[in-house]
């Protein structure tokens, strides 16, 4: 019931921050995927996670485009297709504007998977529920971002990111002007 009342805010709240990807910095190491799966495991440890049944699922996807790797993460969209499509009330925006999936309400109908243009909701067939990014509510920030060794993932406010990008572009050598990742 935690998410039940959250759309009740008087004014419309848009997600303040989101996971941004800098594709040029990604080496395809999949540390983000691993950290995501571990954070969403029962044991929350790497060695525990790999022996769990059913195995834990990641919610960020490093996709290959030719020889380039590109992480794709949930945008927590304002007018979220997945939330509009959800026929059970499992997917709703919370008070912060983040789009959350309550697995206890999910019946695994795949409507959200049919709608998401980013392909970042997938089915956990073992548990018959959809799984999506929850931005790691038990951590200070998303596990994928913290795990990225090359700073290809950032969890930032839209405004900060746009400023950082402009600065990076203006500086010769992207690394010199790259913004620091979140603490």
Partner 1 sequence: MTRQYVILGASAAGIGASARLRELDPESVITVIGEEPHYAYYRPLLPYLRDGRKTLGDIAFWPEEWYAEQRVRLILGARGHRIEPDRKVVELDDGRRFDYDALLLAVGAASRIPDTPGIDAVGVYPLRTVTDAEAIAARARAALAAGGDGGAHAVLLGSGLVSLKAAEPLMNLGIRCTFVVASGHPLSRVVDARVGEMVAERLRERGARLLFGREVAAVTHGVDGSVSGVTLDTGESLDCDLVIVGKGVAPNLEVAQASELACHRGVRAGTYLETASPDVYAAGDCVETMDVVTGGQQVAALWTNAVSMAHIAAHNMVHGPVRRFPGVIGTMNSGVIAGLPIVALGLTDPVGDRYESLVMVDRAAGSIGGDGASGNGGVSDGATARAFRKLVFDGDRLVGAIFAGRVDRAGVYRSFIETGLPLGPTLRSAAEEGRLTYADVQMRGQKPPYSNFVAA
| Residues engaged in binding partner 1 (CB under 8 A) | 1, 4-5, 7-12, 14, 18, 23, 30, 33-34, 37, 49-50, 54-58, 61-65, 68, 70, 72, 75, 77-81, 84-85, 87-89, 107-111, 113-126
CB 116, min distance to partner 1, A: 4
For residue 17, CA distances in Å to 91, 105, 148, 168 come to 19, 26, 18, 20
Q: Which is nearer to partner 1, 34 or 171 (CB)?
A: 34
119 vs 172, beta carbon nearer partner 1: 119
Q: Which is nearer to partner 1, 114 or 171 (CB)?
A: 114
Q: Which is nearer to partner 1, 117 or 140 (CB)?
A: 117
Taking the complex as a whole, how short is the minimal distance between the CB of residue 152 and partner 1, in angstroms?
Answer: 13
CA 112, 79, 100, 59 torsion: positive or negative? positive
Nearest approach, Cβ of 11 to partner 1 (angstroms)?
6
């Amino acid at each position: 019931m935690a998410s039940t009342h959250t759309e009740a805010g008087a004014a419309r709240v848009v997600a303040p921050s989101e996971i941004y990807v800098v594709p040029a910095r990604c080496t395809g190491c999949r540390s983000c995927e691993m950290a995501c799966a571990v954070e969403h495991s029962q044991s929350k440890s790497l060695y525990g996670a790999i022996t769990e049944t059913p195995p834990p699922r990641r919610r960020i996807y490093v996709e290959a485009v030719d020889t380039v790797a590109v992480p794709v993460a949930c945008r927590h969209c304002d007018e979220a297709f997945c939330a509009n499509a959800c026929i059970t009330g499992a997917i709703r925006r919370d008070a912060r504007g983040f789009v959350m999936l309550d697995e206890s309400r999910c019946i695994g109908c795949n409507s959200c998977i049919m709608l998401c243009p980013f392909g970042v909701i997938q089915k956990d067939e073992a548990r018959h529920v959809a799984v999506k990014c929850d931005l790691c509510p038990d951590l200070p920030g998303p596990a994928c971002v913290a795990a990225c060794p090359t700073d290809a993932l950032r969890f930032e406010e839209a405004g900060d990111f746009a400023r950082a990008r402009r600065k990076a572009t203006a500086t010769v050598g992207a690394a010199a002007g790259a913004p620091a990742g979140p603490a």
